[in-house]
Amino acid sequence: MQERLQKATGPVAVGAVALATAFALLGTYGESGDHGIGDLLIVLAIVAIGAVAVFGFIVPRGLGREAAGASALVLSVLGLLTVAVFWTGLPPILAAGGILLGWAGRNADRGRLMCRCAIAIGTLALAADVAIVLGDWLSNR
């Protein structure tokens, strides 16, 4: 099971980065305003640094431990909190990392409840991020 989840880390990371990038492009070019390539590059740099930290360090170490509930929950809560600064591109990265770690430990002997909460909060963070980005885009058209 852990081996499958370790193999899933790459596709989950790519999906989270793709979503964050799509939202950055929508925010830069899908709205009226004076956003330019410089703004986009800053957001993409934040996304890249966040993805490397989450999927290059935190998630692999969490998958290697017996109980990753605390890490999963922290990532998911941070994903939800960063919805307030959705333009950074971090909510999908953090939430996806929290969901993946939560899924890995959802049936573990230790931290099972934290992992299940991480899945729920991470899912809420993704839904909230989609809603706020689309709401922002629609209101600025």
> What is the reported pLDDT for 42?
94
**34 vs 91: which has the higher pLDDT:** 91
Place of tokens 């004076």: 34
| Chain segment 89-100, per-residue pLDDT in tens | 999 999 999 999
Long-range contacts of 123-126 (CB under 8 A, 24+ apart): 123/95, 123/99, 124/80, 125/76, 125/79, 125/80, 125/82, 125/83, 125/91, 125/94, 125/95, 125/98, 126/79, 126/91, 126/92, 126/95, 126/96, 126/99
The total number of structural domains that make up the chain: 1
Name the residue range of residue 44's domain: 2-139
| Chain segment 35-78, per-residue pLDDT in tens | 678 889 999 999 999 999 999 999 999 888 777 889 999 999 99
